[in-house]
Structure 1
Amino acid sequence: MDEDEEIVQSYLVWGAMALHYAELFANLSRQRKLNTFLLTVVKSIFQDMISMETVIAKIMEYAKTLVSADRTSLFLVDSNDKQLYAHIFEVNDNKANSDDPAITKKEIRFPIGTGIAGTVAKTGQALNIPDAYEDQRFNRDIDQMTGYTTKNLLAMP
């Protein structure tokens, strides 16, 4: 019985080491992806002297890829009018040139506290909404304006 216990114990040690190294590898892979993205953004800023809109579009495209979303939106706070607004509303997949994401520009404005984005802006708390149309805070007017049907949402301050 002692020999069997020693064998099992050695397998457990090897298993724990394998799990530890797998976790380290996953963390390093995530960090490498982030570093690659940041280098791409910095390269774009200093080599291409691109506009801030393009930099924001690239950041939105990375966020979209990072969370496996099919759409991203960036809302800014207009503190004078106490509203949220979006100048860069959508980053589309651009198959022809992956370094230059296509941007659909629309301006949408609504009061802070209205909708999911307005709630996040007001509270400063992230929201993960599994079914947008089941949430009373969801502003259906945005879908009507954009022609897009929102299924679920991840909103961050």
Structure 2
Amino acid sequence: MDIAMQQQAFERLEKQLRQKEKELYSIQRIGKALSSTLNLDELLKLIMQEITTLMDADRSTLFIVDREKGEIWSKIALKAEVKEIRQTLGKGISGYVAETGKAINIPDAYQDNRFDPATDKRTGYRTRSILCMPVWNPQSAEESREIIGVIQVLNKNDGIFSEEDEALLESLSAQVAISIANARLYSRLEKKFREIDLLYDFEQMLNSVQELPKMLGRLLVHTLDHLEARWVLGYVPHEGKYFFFATDRQHRIYFESAASVSLGWMNFVQQPT
């Protein structure tokens, strides 16, 4: 091997070493963030920034799967010209990955018939190379694995994404999955604690000496706050009378009647838009 070839080999090894160092530092930063914050938005934004840097890409997007609506939506979209991107499951590259669970590495987006150019047309952006990876729920069983998201990385700066990029993104997608799972668990625990607090407040109110209309109003306002709803209403029979109360915080409706409306006890909640 002549000196020129040795020099080229040395430069390749040096480049690979620098890349591995970058990967190690990024994984360390992600690990530190995982252990220090439960703010899902901050955590996912940091991870997506690290992914974009490591992939040497122009931008990246994290999509969350919404099974009820049959679509995916952009939770984190770095450098995107639009506030939110929504895609039907099975449509476009990211929708295809969300539906099939298959990773995709495309050197030229416009040569792939699965690519949907609608976002490019709307924003003026030109998509070239794409690397798209499913995010699997780490808490689901192996035989019934659930896709909870998709990571899409666009336009590698020096050409197309490599097999090494695929392996690295697959590894990093596991970090994203853990972040989402931890945040969801924390959210469920918070909800349980709020429910316990609400039941305790209800018990205190029921044990206090106060008129039924006043107590009913307080109970429903507490329910409204707990559910983060727009409206809540209640109807209850008491000592031959029937009490009705509704509120949206700003307005309150209350009346009592000697006649039954045959509703028993009920509540109606409309979630915020």
Do the structures match in fold with TM over 0.5? Answer: yes
Residues 83-122 of structure 1 aligned to structure 2 (within 5 Å) = 83-90=71-78, 92=79, 106-122=83-99
2:118 corresponds in structure 1 to: 141
1:52 partnered with 2:40: yes
Question: Structure 1, residues 95-148: CA drift from partner, whole Å, max 9, x if none?
Answer: xxxxxxxx8772111210000111111111111111111111111112123331
2:128 corresponds in structure 1 to: 151
> What is the alpha-carbon distance in structure 1 between the residues aligned to residue 45 and residue 118 of structure 2?
24
CA contact (8 A) 1:87 1:106 kept: no
> What is the alpha-carbon distance in structure 2 between the residues aligned to residue 124 and residue 44 of structure 1?
27
Residues 59-98 of structure 1 aligned to structure 2 (within 5 Å) = 59-90=47-78, 92=79
Residue 37 of structure 1 aligns with an amino acid whose one-letter code is S
1:36 corresponds in structure 2 to: 25
- Cα distance change on mapping 1:119 and 1:68 into 2, 3 Å: same
Structure 2 SS opposite 1:110: strand
**Where does structure 1 lack aligned partners over 5 or more consecutive residues?**
1-21, 93-102
Shift in Å, 1:40: 2.0
Q: TM-score, normalised by structure 2?
A: 0.39
Question: Structure 1, residues 38-75: CA drift from partner, whole Å, max 9, x if none?
Answer: 3323444556x473222211211211122211111111
Q: TM-score, normalised by structure 1?
A: 0.64
| Rg (Cα) greater in structure | 2
Structure 1 SS opposite 2:57: coil
- Sequence identity percentage: 37
CA-based RMSD of the aligned residues comes to 3.1
1:6 corresponds in structure 2 to: none
CA contact (8 A) 1:115 1:137 kept: yes
Shift in Å, 1:34: 3.6
1:11 corresponds in structure 2 to: none
> What is the alpha-carbon distance in structure 2 between the residues aligned to residue 83 and residue 60 of structure 1?
21
Residue 86 of structure 2 aligns with an amino acid whose one-letter code is R
> What is the alpha-carbon distance in structure 1 between the residues aligned to residue 111 and residue 46 of structure 2?
31
**Where does structure 2 lack aligned partners over 5 or more consecutive residues?**
1-12, 135-273
> What is the alpha-carbon distance in structure 1 between the residues aligned to residue 75 and residue 99 of structure 2?
20
Structure 2 SS opposite 1:154: strand
> What is the alpha-carbon distance in structure 2 between the residues aligned to residue 27 and residue 150 of structure 1?
30
1:18 corresponds in structure 2 to: none
Residue 123 of structure 1 aligns with an amino acid whose one-letter code is T
> What is the alpha-carbon distance in structure 1 between the residues aligned to residue 119 and residue 64 of structure 2?
15
CA contact (8 A) 2:65 2:71 kept: yes
CA contact (8 A) 1:83 1:109 kept: yes
1:16 corresponds in structure 2 to: none
> What is the alpha-carbon distance in structure 2 between the residues aligned to residue 29 and residue 137 of structure 1?
31
